[in-house]
Amino acid sequence: MDIGNRLYRAEQVQALDRQAIEGHGIAGYELMQRAGRAAFRALRARWPETGALTVCCGGGNNGGDGYVIARLALEAGMAVQLIALKDPGELAGDAATAAADWRNAGGSLADPEQPLSGEVIVDALLGTGLDRAPAGAYARLIERINASGKKVLAVDVPSGLDADTGMPLKPAVRADVTTTFIGNKRGLYTGQAGHWCGQRLYFDLATPAAIHADIDADARLLAVADLRGWLPPRRPDTHKGDLGHVLVIGGDAGMAGAPVLAGQAALRTGSGLVSLATRAEHVGLAPSVQPELMAHGVETLDALDALIERADALALGPGLGQGEWSRSLWQRALIGDQPRVVDADALNLLAADDGPIACPGAVLTPHPGEAARLLEVSAAKVQSDRFAAARALAERFSAVVVLKGHGTLIAEPGGAVAVCPYGNPAMASAGMGDALTGIIASLLGQGCKPFDAACCGVLAHALAGDAAASGRRQIVAGDLIDRLADILPA
Ligand SMILES: NC(=O)C1=CN([C@@H]2O[C@H](COP(=O)(O)OP(=O)(O)OC[C@H]3O[C@@H](n4cnc5c(N)ncnc54)[C@H](O)[C@@H]3O)[C@@H](O)[C@H]2O)[C@H](O)CC1
Ligand SMILES: [K+]
């Protein structure tokens, strides 16, 4: 796995720093200079015409990185307005060295009350040392940076953003680019992080891979290259019977289309056969929009049992509703031998049930609101630490959990967590969840293990959404489903 796809908490990154310094003899100031060089190069690459910088330096090593950047800019002939929130003479360690080198290169402090004059602002106020909400001069400068309308490069972490959770301890710097070093931070990839980080660039600073040997990543970033490894190989003699039969259960009054979208997505993901168990009055819809789908009106549990019997995987929940009919199907289909996806109203029924029901072999796919109901907390609490929420759900229901939203998380009982860095706001519309349910159910039916099916499904869904959106403001689930074939390698 690419080192940059290993995601860490801030305290783990500090341990990596120590490993590099104490375990491999790379001086801290050498690392700081490499960080400053990497950030400066990224800045020049992104904004090559820039001739003037404003560099905002805090009182620790994040500020130290800023002094390195300021010195490099001076040496490149750029104008540099450096605003220091701590007297450089009071800095310690590597930051003091960086400030001295900046001073020797001709650097001088700007009046902090002057307007921010640079074309690009470098945020080197706070990094992994953030331990409280910015206040006083830090808060005021962060607000000035955000109000400036200038382009912003954040050093290591946007100041004020919690590197573990992706939540801003307001105020936080809103950056166009965030350059992060040595250990990629898990909080840069989920929740609100995309809003505060902008483009995320990771640099290993040429530290030896060995520094990662003794520190287990807290999570991993999904990568496009992972897709092929999860997809069952196709042999020349493969036939539809080899590719699984998915049964989609849902489609109560007013929601006839949800199971159809899930079924279409399952077909596009490679299922051999897809059936729908839905309201009798909805049976005609599926074949009329997708003749490859088989649809059955299920008004008795015997009829459902016969269909479940023939299925290799279930997609339980799209448009299921929460009435008597819904609940009877849900009770029959929630637990069983086949792997299953439990989504939408099937999750709400699960949350309404007294006491958690273990769902071994299942993949639960809540959005933050459904997750909140399942954990009996507020949605804000879920979003305040998505990693903790996803892990708690996986343990509570003994199931793989997909916590949807920006930076979707996939957690399995026992702790492994994957993060999806793809997807876009044009996907915020009804039906996207039904499509994801169908994709994951299809992969389960093709023999993928639940965690792999969830990771592969989330990744394919997000990549198809990016391909379908490509700059548009809004797409519908059908647009995404149509792009799955382009995303999934033969
Ligand atoms: N360690 C290395 O070899 C490298 C580190 N790099 C950079 O260093 C920072 C981490 O530096 P650190 O001094 O630990 O913390 P910060 O600079 O983020 O914070 C400094 C200091 O500020 C105090 N503080 C915390 N929260 C607040 C707040 N809200 N307001 C004011 N002050 C606050 C607290 O005492 C902190 O200790 C890392 O991010 C990298 O940028 C190099 O990049 C690589 C080598
Ligand atoms: K910063």
Domain closes at, from 217, 247, 263: 217
The closest-lying atom of ligand 1 relative to the alpha carbon of residue 36 is 43
Distance from C-alpha of 196 to C-alpha of 175, rounded to nearest angstrom? 6
Asked whether 181 lines ligand 1 (CB < 6 A), one says yes
In this prediction, residues 414-443 reach a mean pLDDT of 95
CB atoms within 10 A of CB 327: 17
258 belongs to an annotated ligand binding site = yes
Length of the chain measured in residues: 490
Q: Does 330 lie in the same domain as 234?
A: yes
Contact 170/196 with Cβ under 8 angstroms? Answer: no
In this prediction, residues 237-248 reach a mean pLDDT of 92
The residue nearest atom 20 of ligand 1, judged by CA position, is: 60
**Residue 1 confidence (pLDDT):** 72
Asked whether 123 lines ligand 1 (CB < 6 A), one says no
Q: How many CA atoms lie within 13 A of 55 on its CB side?
A: 31
The residue nearest atom 42 of ligand 1, judged by CA position, is: 32
Q: Does 124 lie in the same domain as 38?
A: yes
Q: Which residues contact 236 (CB under 8 A, 6 or more apart)?
A: none
For residue 335, pLDDT beyond 90: no
Q: Helices 324-334 and 344-352 sit at what angle, rounded to 10 degrees? A: 90
Average pLDDT, the chain: 96
Look at strands 79-84 and 52-57 and give their pairing: parallel
**Residue 396 confidence (pLDDT):** 96
For residue 236, pLDDT beyond 80: yes
Q: Does 424 lie in the same domain as 282?
A: yes
Encoded amino acid at 360, one letter = P
Distance from C-alpha of 182 to C-alpha of 470, rounded to nearest angstrom? 31
pLDDT digits (tens, 9 = 90+) for 91-106: 999 999 999 999 999 9
Contact 246/261 with Cβ under 8 angstroms? Answer: no
3-state secondary structure 406-433: CCCEEECCCCCEEECCCCCHHHCCCCHH
In this prediction, residues 194-211 reach a mean pLDDT of 95
Closest to 394 measured CA to CA, from 429, 428, 363, 427: 363
Q: Residue 265: left if φ>0, alpha if ψ -120 to 50, beta else—which one?
A: alpha
Q: Does 248 lie in the same domain as 199?
A: no
**Residue 300 confidence (pLDDT):** 85
Question: Which residue from 19, 33, 130 has its CB within 8 A of the most atoms of ligand 1, so it is best to mutate?
Answer: 130
- Give the domain extent around 402: 225-487
Residues with C-beta atoms within 5 A of ion ligand 2: 123, 127, 154-155, 159
Q: Does 252 lie in the same domain as 179?
A: no
The residue nearest atom 21 of ligand 1, judged by CA position, is: 60
370-381 residues labelled b (16+ CB within 10 A) or e (exposed) = bbbbbbeeebee
Q: Does 311 lie in the same domain as 243?
A: yes
142 — pLDDT class (breaks 50, 70, 90): very high
For residue 64, pLDDT beyond 80: yes
Look at strands 400-403 and 362-364 and give their pairing: parallel
In this prediction, residues 318-332 reach a mean pLDDT of 96
**Residue 299 confidence (pLDDT):** 85
CA 130 to centroid of ligand 1, rounded, Å = 7
Dihedrals phi, psi of 184, to nearest 5 degrees: -70, 135
Query: Is 465 buried (19+), middle (13-18) or exposed (0-12) by CB count in 10 A?
Result: buried
CB atoms within 10 A of CB 360: 12
Question: Tokens 């496009």 identify what position?
Answer: 224
235 — pLDDT class (breaks 50, 70, 90): confident
**Residue 415 confidence (pLDDT):** 83
Domain closes at, from 201, 217, 233: 217
For residue 355, pLDDT beyond 90: no
Q: Does 482 lie in the same domain as 365?
A: yes
270 belongs to an annotated ligand binding site = no
Radius of gyration over alpha carbons of the chain, in Å? 26
Alpha helices in 78-214 (DSSP H): 93-104, 136-147, 193-197
Contact 438/259 with Cβ under 8 angstroms? Answer: no
For residue 241, pLDDT beyond 90: no
490 — pLDDT class (breaks 50, 70, 90): confident
Q: What is the ipTM of this complex?
A: 0.96
Q: Which residues contact 296 (CB under 8 A, 6 or more apart)?
A: 275, 276, 277, 278, 283, 303, 307
Distance from C-alpha of 180 to C-alpha of 202, rounded to nearest angstrom? 5
**Residue 489 confidence (pLDDT):** 86
CB atoms within 10 A of CB 396: 18
The closest-lying atom of ligand 1 relative to the alpha carbon of residue 134 is 29
**Residue 202 confidence (pLDDT):** 97
449 belongs to an annotated ligand binding site = no
Q: Does 140 lie in the same domain as 229?
A: no
Q: Does 341 lie in the same domain as 248?
A: yes
Domain closes at, from 180, 195, 217: 217
**Residue 265 confidence (pLDDT):** 98
Q: What is the CATH number of the domain that holds 36?
A: 3.40.50.10260
Q: What is the CATH number of the domain that holds 455?
A: 3.40.1190.20
**Residue 391 confidence (pLDDT):** 97
Q: Which ligand is nearest to the CA of 161?
A: 2
In this prediction, residues 420-446 reach a mean pLDDT of 96
pLDDT digits (tens, 9 = 90+) for 285-306: 999 999 999 999 998 889 999 9
pLDDT digits (tens, 9 = 90+) for 144-158: 999 999 999 999 999
Asked whether 130 lines ligand 1 (CB < 6 A), one says yes
319 belongs to an annotated ligand binding site = yes
Question: Which residue from 11, 30, 61 has its CB within 8 A of the most atoms of ligand 1, so it is best to mutate?
Answer: 61
**DSSP assignment of 238-263:** --GGGG-EEEEE---TT-THHHHHHH
65 belongs to an annotated ligand binding site = yes
In this prediction, residues 369-383 reach a mean pLDDT of 96
Q: Does 248 lie in the same domain as 378?
A: yes
In this prediction, residues 302-319 reach a mean pLDDT of 96
63 belongs to an annotated ligand binding site = yes
**What percentage of the chain carries pLDDT values higher than 90?**
92
Asked whether 84 lines ligand 1 (CB < 6 A), one says no
Q: Which ligand is nearest to the CA of 125?
A: 2
**Residue 43 confidence (pLDDT):** 98
My answer on whether omega of the bond before 171 falls inside 30° of 0, hence cis, is yes
The closest-lying atom of ligand 1 relative to the alpha carbon of residue 157 is 39
The residue nearest atom 5 of ligand 1, judged by CA position, is: 61
Question: What is the tally of structural domains in the chain?
Answer: 2
In this prediction, residues 437-458 reach a mean pLDDT of 97
CA 249 to centroid of ligand 1, rounded, Å = 52
Q: Does 139 lie in the same domain as 231?
A: no
Q: Does 112 lie in the same domain as 67?
A: yes
